[in-house]
Chains A and B, each alone.
Chain A
């Protein structure tokens, strides 16, 4: 017997949860699906049949732009740190996106923890939706994930004709599920889709030997530094910090940045230890596939394919991984 929740019960449960929690869920408007904050009266707007959101859910913990603190000019600067007020439920995560959050956790929760990120992370419960019709550009199973991987979620829901199968994997998830109106049913779990496979296995070991190959300069030549790859990536987390002054108030703001930006490593005075376009481009793949794994135990890619879909010049991580495999040294 399996515990399931019908679609109607799921929505009314969410409506009830919205009284206490901030609910962040996929909402489609003008053809674009994004994670948005939905109030109890807006639960019907949640799109339960979306394929993939345009932007990853990392925005919730690590916004494109956030004020770290504000200084009001008195006699002495008075620092008013930003803070979050209530607990949240991030609903409708695909397992790949949950993994993206887990990968950012590794860097941001490492000592000393990023307090701004940690506060939001601690106050959020992750409810996932198994991926039953993956997108064309996905390859999660090639990089250690899967369409119903519940490893990085608190709760996983899997849709069937009888309703959603509910699985809680953490204490936080179990607690939350106790309030959900579920029924015991005899359910045949759905057949999970098979995904395109790329040869990512062993890629970390192959990266060092092609570091000086002209390949990186050649592919980089068509990059236009738009940074969309990093912005849509569920696990890219480079950032910038700047001060902004307006109306006697100073704000210290953290914003997304990308290693593909021309000034990413340039020092005051002009010296740039990573001066070429090819070197910038190479850093993205080396950070993801070679540098991150020994520190944090995993390659920094979830196989969500957003960068593949979004790149205006068709730079494709699947091709890069395949090319590295093929390159003869």
Chain B
């Protein structure tokens, strides 16, 4: 699937831009080469580099599901030079896409298990295809509990999908914000506190979390408090990356490269790193 020279991006056309939050846009892309449009495969957890030509490229997790064939989607938070340039683009623009890279959430192995999704802010991005994959294969998984947290109500991503998620069978969606506004009637609590409050049973459950490092640290502690073992807790690490192929050594952590050995790791693997993550 990767091009012959994996440093050279495929060209993609920006089909649609949706504002998810004040600083996060959903970019929907279509590869320009027709033969690739129906054959471009990737899995939840994998990522690609997007090029804003002339500014640079940066890695982003896929937020769409390849088999749905409704475009290749990324949720891009405006945070640096490349993301700022991507935010400036309008439908019809050409974006470079290199990938897919990295490993993925082993969703086949999780069949029959309860899934506990814990996302914070833009950390929900790589978890969205996990949720949608489970909903597309609902009978094959146990209960699905989702905690989606953000700083304020307007920072909650994928709000247009909340109804679909909440109404799905054996699925519970819990939203929380650090600080509400006058219209907010939901929780005002930090994500780790919600984990502790909801007390999901660790029995036959996999917890998948992604969010800011501080949230992950306290979420990990909360999960351990509930009896989750390190091999039942999965996350996707964010690291500076330049190549995506284990060459540039920017994302090297111990004897692992986040780009090719990850980005998906269990906390059992992470706990073996000498460096603290």
Q: Do the beta carbons of A107 and B79 come within 8 Å of each other?
A: no
Which of the segments B48-56, B154-162, B165-173, B193-201 contacts the partner chain?
B48-56
Cross-interface CB contact of A294 among B4, B5, B255, cutoff 8 Å: B255
With contacts A291-B255, A295-B255 known, is A271 near B213, CB below 8 A? yes
In the complex, whether B231 has a CB less than 8 A from a CB of chain A is: no
Name B residues whose Cβ lies closer than 8 Å to a Cβ of A. Answer: 2, 4-9, 11, 32, 51, 53-58, 79-83, 94, 96, 212-213, 238-240, 242-243, 245-250, 252-255, 274-275, 277
Cross-interface CB contact of A115 among B4, B80, B212, cutoff 8 Å: B4
Q: Do the beta carbons of B243 and A110 come within 8 Å of each other?
A: no
In the complex, whether A50 has a CB less than 8 A from a CB of chain B is: no
The residue in chain B whose Cβ has the minimal distance to the Cβ of A267 is B240
With contacts A115-B5, A266-B240, A294-B255 known, is A279 near B248, CB below 8 A? no
Q: Do the beta carbons of B7 and A68 come within 8 Å of each other?
A: yes
With contacts A240-B242, A243-B56 known, is A273 near B213, CB below 8 A? yes
Interfacial chain A residues near B6, Cβ < 8 Å: 112, 115
Contact with B along A237-251 (1 / 0, CB 8 A): 111111101000010
Q: Do the beta carbons of A107 and B54 come within 8 Å of each other?
A: no
Least CB distance from A120 to B in Å reads: 14
Interfacial chain B residues near A239, Cβ < 8 Å: 242-243, 247-249
Q: Do the beta carbons of A208 and B274 come within 8 Å of each other?
A: yes
Beyond the given A79-B8, A239-B242, A257-B248, please list 15 additional residue pairs across the A-B interface where CB-CB is below 8 A.
A68-B8, A76-B32, A77-B53, A81-B5, A107-B246, A107-B247, A107-B249, A208-B274, A241-B56, A243-B53, A268-B79, A269-B79, A269-B80, A287-B252, A295-B255
* Residues of A274-329 contacting chain B, CB below 8 A: 274, 279, 283, 286-287, 290-292, 294-295
Name A residues whose Cβ lies closer than 8 Å to a Cβ of B. Answer: 68-69, 71, 76-77, 79, 81, 107-108, 110, 112, 114-116, 208, 211, 237-243, 245, 250, 252, 257, 259, 264-269, 271, 273-274, 279, 283, 286-287, 290-292, 294-295
A176 to B51, CA, bound (A): 43
A42 to B58, CA, bound (A): 45
Q: Do the beta carbons of B5 and A268 come within 8 Å of each other?
A: no
Q: Do the beta carbons of A77 and B79 come within 8 Å of each other?
A: no
Q: Do the beta carbons of A241 and B274 come within 8 Å of each other?
A: no
Least CB distance from A79 to B in Å reads: 6
Q: Do the beta carbons of B5 and A238 come within 8 Å of each other?
A: no
Q: Do the beta carbons of B53 and A114 come within 8 Å of each other?
A: no
A107 to B257, CA, bound (A): 11
Mind listing 16 A-B residue pairs with CB under 8 Å?
Answer: A68-B7, A79-B8, A107-B247, A116-B7, A237-B249, A239-B242, A241-B57, A243-B55, A250-B54, A252-B7, A257-B250, A266-B240, A268-B81, A268-B83, A279-B275, A286-B274
Interfacial chain A residues near B7, Cβ < 8 Å: 68-69, 114-116, 241, 252
Of B6, B54, B212, chain A has the most CB atoms within 10 Å of the CB of B54
Interfacial chain A residues near B252, Cβ < 8 Å: 283, 287, 291
Number of A-B contacts (CB under 8 A): 107
Q: Which 8 pairs of residues, A with B, have the shortest CB-CB distance?
A: A268-B80, A115-B5, A269-B79, A238-B249, A211-B274, A268-B79, A245-B54, A250-B54
A286 to B256, CA, bound (A): 12
Least CB distance from A298 to B in Å reads: 13
Q: Do the beta carbons of A69 and B8 come within 8 Å of each other?
A: yes
With contacts A81-B8, A211-B274 known, is A265 near B239, CB below 8 A? yes
With contacts A243-B54, A273-B239, A273-B275 known, is A114 near B83, CB below 8 A? no
A245 to B54, CA, bound (A): 6
Q: Do the beta carbons of A76 and B54 come within 8 Å of each other?
A: no
Q: Do the beta carbons of A274 and B255 come within 8 Å of each other?
A: no
The residue in chain B whose Cβ has the minimal distance to the Cβ of A249 is B54
Q: Do the beta carbons of B274 and A238 come within 8 Å of each other?
A: no
A275 to B251, CA, bound (A): 14
A139 to B245, CA, bound (A): 32
Interfacial chain B residues near A283, Cβ < 8 Å: 252
With contacts A268-B58, A291-B254 known, is A114 near B238, CB below 8 A? no
With contacts A211-B274, A264-B250 known, is A114 near B240, CB below 8 A? no
Interfacial chain A residues near B274, Cβ < 8 Å: 208, 211, 286
Interfacial chain A residues near B249, Cβ < 8 Å: 107, 237-239, 259, 287
Interfacial chain B residues near A241, Cβ < 8 Å: 7, 56-57, 242-243, 248
Interfacial chain B residues near A257, Cβ < 8 Å: 242, 248, 250
The residue in chain A whose Cβ has the minimal distance to the Cβ of B257 is A295
Interfacial chain A residues near B54, Cβ < 8 Å: 243, 245, 250
Interfacial chain A residues near B238, Cβ < 8 Å: 267
Interfacial chain A residues near B82, Cβ < 8 Å: 268
Cross-interface CB contact of A76 among B11, B212, B248, cutoff 8 Å: B11
Interfacial chain A residues near B247, Cβ < 8 Å: 107-108, 114, 237, 239
Q: Do the beta carbons of B245 and A238 come within 8 Å of each other?
A: no
Interfacial chain A residues near B94, Cβ < 8 Å: 76-77
Interfacial chain B residues near A115, Cβ < 8 Å: 4-7
Interfacial chain B residues near A71, Cβ < 8 Å: 53
Least CB distance from B241 to A in Å reads: 10
Least CB distance from B140 to A in Å reads: 32
Interfacial chain B residues near A245, Cβ < 8 Å: 54
